[in-house]
Structure 1
Amino acid sequence: MLTAMLLPWNATAIYFADRPSRLESFLHGTPRQIEGLLVRSLLETTQGKLDAALSDIDEVIRAMPNFKLAYLVRGDLLQAKARQISGFGSAPNAPRDEIADFQDEARVRLERYLSREDAPAQPDYLWQLDEAQRHAIVVDTNKSRLYLYRNDHGQPRYVADYYVTVGKNGTEKQSEGDKKTPIGVYFAGKQLERKKLPDMYGTAAYPLSYPNEWDKHRGKNGHGIWLHGTPSNTYSRPPRASDGCVVLTNPDISSLAPVLQDGSTPVVIVGNNPVSQAALKAERERLMGAMEQWRRDWETQNTEDYLARYSRDFFSEGKNFKAWADEKRRIQQSKSATSIQLSNLSVFRYPDGQQQMAVVSFDQDFKSDRLNSHMRKRQYWILEDGQWKILYEGAV
């Protein structure tokens, strides 16, 4: 029905009287007001309420005169008032590739409204936030949507969501210049200096930490994957139009400035990898148990059980599993009394469609009669044959 609605304006009407609170939430406050008016105009069009639809889309254009999709909708509405039009963007000689882009943008914006939930109450990928992470972001590339969560005592709470553009060639970035958006767990750095940026990056840009440790291990390369805005003459871009970056409207990237200003906000970019909430909860609990057992085995110098917590595919700063194990056996021969405490823990499920993984970061306090150290550490855990094991370990 949704596809049909976007093609002929006289498609079966979609009624929204039973969802007044949903539409109201779109019509008030940044960033939803502009999108809410566009959605209402499109829905009114399918119901034959052309005057109301035209009034709403005119309000959109007055507020955002560089919103190209809104002009296309307005043109269709003017044609519809004069005669029945054959489809979305049916003006004579309209470029078909550009019309397809506008269709995609209208579709994903409508689907956001028509979805049953504003956002997952318990997002699949944010298993735990440490207290320094005041917010976290999940980018759903399939829905062209960025979801913002705040940290509520370690648990994510939904705040808002925003329309985004991703790579013109899709996702799963592999190499420099492939125009794809990476899938993975990253962190947004501090805002780049505006005066040094070309206009195409909009009012702000924040570099993401691509390639991460796992990307590099798999031979992925490239750089310059950012969260950024749009050129001054463009309100928004089609869902698939960037060179790999995640692109928001300028008002939206500006509204995220307080969230991104500390330069360490987690950004999890995901594709389509649905897993049941019950299964995720069970795996999270098993991972937390495996981490605690790893800490205990290390603290008690139970070397072989400690090493059994590592994958045979383990890597760390030039070391493979054998080199790591040899070094740990040598160090732990003395069996000196040791205290190991972990704090400020964050856990993110890694969006890998091939295997279950998680990225864990924590502050580590190590004390023995020979060494007293404090460091921030990151680990990648992988589920192997039903057991969580450490795939990577290194300092942050």
Structure 2
Amino acid sequence: MKFIFVFMFLTSALFSEDVLTFYKSGGKKLIDSEMGKPSYWASYIMNKDLRFGYFERAVSLLACSKEKGALELYTPNAQQQFSLKKRYSAFTGKNPGDKNTRGDLRTPIGVYTFTEKKKNVDPFYGPMAFVTSYPNLYDRIRGKDGDGIWVHGVPSNGTRDPFTKGCIAINNNDLIQLDQTINPYNTVLIIDTSIKQSVSPSAYSSILSALFQWKYAWTYNDIDDYLSFYDPTFKRYDGMNFERFKTYKERIFNKDEEKNITFSNFTIIPYPGEKKNLYWVAFHQVYTSESHRFEGEKSILLRLNPDHSIAILTEE
């Protein structure tokens, strides 16, 4: 309730001298603190469609079940409620399981985006292809290799095997319809053996509150609290391990610079596969300090612990 009161106060007195006084006298820190409370987020996400994850921006969802040989397209309405738009029959890799190495004939399991739409492809792949982001950040830190995982069509003439070398293949007319329906650069692809059931809403409120607690420690130079959000096995996108990362961050925090950090447009998806309680998180971040400025997309893979804390495993 305190956060709601603060928010109402700010909006009712927008641009007034009272707002500036409140902000300068510690109001910003109070708001930052309130955003780290699970009770705020539990109320905020109430009635959200969380079947596939938590989304703050409109995206199309493609969910591939390798076991069922199906690719399902879900699109959101204005209230971010997802509905099944189309179910396509799909071929996937010849061999079962998650992809590990080039040439293993497996379709990867994970969360991916599309990086390119190829309009001119070999006729074997049908009229076009969507290039996925495999290997993603989590794939790379686990040492997976290979590339060229596409969603594509089938040969227009002749027949083909009922499997692929690792891609997802659907009927050519379906591929054309899919192309007319989605913006590939605003689409998330979830690939799993079978699509899992949704998780408890409390998981998302715990993650969101923990992310804002992490942001609070970051903003107000609490290095010990900040580092407590990282798993000892942490490995950054560039291979930096936790000990090197700790030294690097201590050097930055020791500058004791004033920071302004904002997070927005969250996407949080339970990570496919056999390991439980892993989540892929993406958001827009703006970071400014006296010596550095960054604005762009940030990706994190984290584990939600039984005590509702988080452990960041990798970030980019």
For residue 266 of structure 1, what is the amino acid of its counterpart?
Answer: V
- TM-score normalized by the length of structure 1: 0.62
Name the residue aligned to 2:60.
135
Q: 1:129 offset after TM fit, Å?
A: 2.9
Change (3 A) 1:288 1:128: same
Q: In 2, Cα distance between the equivalents of 1:365 and 1:212?
A: 23
Q: In 2, Cα distance between the equivalents of 1:300 and 1:233?
A: 63
The answer to whether residue 156 in structure 2 is matched with residue 232 in structure 1 is yes
Name the residue aligned to 2:292.
371
Name the residue aligned to 1:54.
none
Name the residue aligned to 2:213.
293
Name the residue aligned to 1:198.
122
The answer to whether residue 291 in structure 2 is matched with residue 361 in structure 1 is no
Q: 1:154 offset after TM fit, Å?
A: 4.5
Name the residue aligned to 1:75.
none
Change (3 A) 1:189 1:368: closer
1:97-149, Cα deviation, whole Å (9 max, x unpaired): xxxxxxxxxxxxxxxxxxxxxxxx9574x312343x53121111111111112
SS class of match (1:331)? helix
Q: In 1, Cα distance between the equivalents of 2:234 and 2:81?
A: 30
The answer to whether residue 269 in structure 2 is matched with residue 343 in structure 1 is no
Q: 1:339 offset after TM fit, Å?
A: 1.6
For residue 205 of structure 2, what is the amino acid of its counterpart?
Answer: E
More helix by share: 1
Q: 1:265 offset after TM fit, Å?
A: 1.9
SS class of match (1:242)? coil
Name the residue aligned to 1:150.
75
Q: Is the 8 A contact 2:49 2:80 kept in 1?
A: no
Percent identity reads 28
SS class of match (2:218)? helix
Q: 1:235 offset after TM fit, Å?
A: 8.1
Change (3 A) 1:270 1:388: same
Q: In 2, Cα distance between the equivalents of 1:273 and 1:250?
A: 24
> In structure 2, which of residues 243, 246, 268 is the aligned counterpart of residue 325 of structure 1?
246
Pairing 1:236-255 to 2, within 5 Å after superposition? 238=162, 241-255=163-177
Q: In 2, Cα distance between the equivalents of 1:191 and 1:260?
A: 12
Unaligned residue ranges in structure 2 (runs of 5+): 1-47
Q: Is the 8 A contact 1:360 1:379 kept in 2?
A: yes
Q: In 1, Cα distance between the equivalents of 2:50 and 2:193?
A: 13
Change (3 A) 1:192 1:129: same
Unaligned residue ranges in structure 1 (runs of 5+): 1-120
Provide the aligned C-alpha RMSD in A.
2.3
Q: 1:259 offset after TM fit, Å?
A: 4.2
For residue 216 of structure 2, what is the amino acid of its counterpart?
Answer: R
Change (3 A) 1:259 1:123: farther
Q: Is the 8 A contact 1:236 1:248 kept in 2?
A: no
Q: Is the 8 A contact 2:116 2:132 kept in 1?
A: no
Q: 1:282 offset after TM fit, Å?
A: 2.2
Name the residue aligned to 2:33.
none
Aligned residues: 266
Q: 1:172 offset after TM fit, Å?
A: 0.7
SS class of match (2:232)? strand
Change (3 A) 1:216 1:372: closer
Q: Is the 8 A contact 1:357 1:383 kept in 2?
A: yes
Change (3 A) 1:376 1:142: same
Name the residue aligned to 2:11.
none
- TM-score normalized by the length of structure 2: 0.77
Pairing 1:42-61 to 2, within 5 Å after superposition? none
Change (3 A) 1:154 1:331: farther
For residue 212 of structure 2, what is the amino acid of its counterpart?
Answer: E
Change (3 A) 1:134 1:303: same
Name the residue aligned to 1:161.
87
Q: In 2, Cα distance between the equivalents of 1:266 and 1:128?
A: 12
Q: In 2, Cα distance between the equivalents of 1:168 and 1:123?
A: 32
Pairing 1:9-158 to 2, within 5 Å after superposition? 124=51, 126-131=52-57, 133-152=58-77, 153-158=79-84
For residue 249 of structure 1, what is the amino acid of its counterpart?
Answer: N
Q: In 1, Cα distance between the equivalents of 2:185 and 2:119?
A: 13
* Structure (1 or 2) with the larger CA radius of gyration: 1
Q: 1:376 offset after TM fit, Å?
A: 1.4
SS class of match (2:116)? coil
Change (3 A) 1:324 1:256: same
Q: Is the 8 A contact 2:64 2:195 kept in 1?
A: no
- Higher RCO (C-alpha 8 Å, min separation 6): 2
Q: 1:370 offset after TM fit, Å?
A: 3.3
Change (3 A) 1:155 1:311: farther
Q: 1:391 offset after TM fit, Å?
A: 0.8
For residue 353 of structure 1, what is the amino acid of its counterpart?
Answer: E
Q: In 2, Cα distance between the equivalents of 1:230 and 1:297?
A: 52
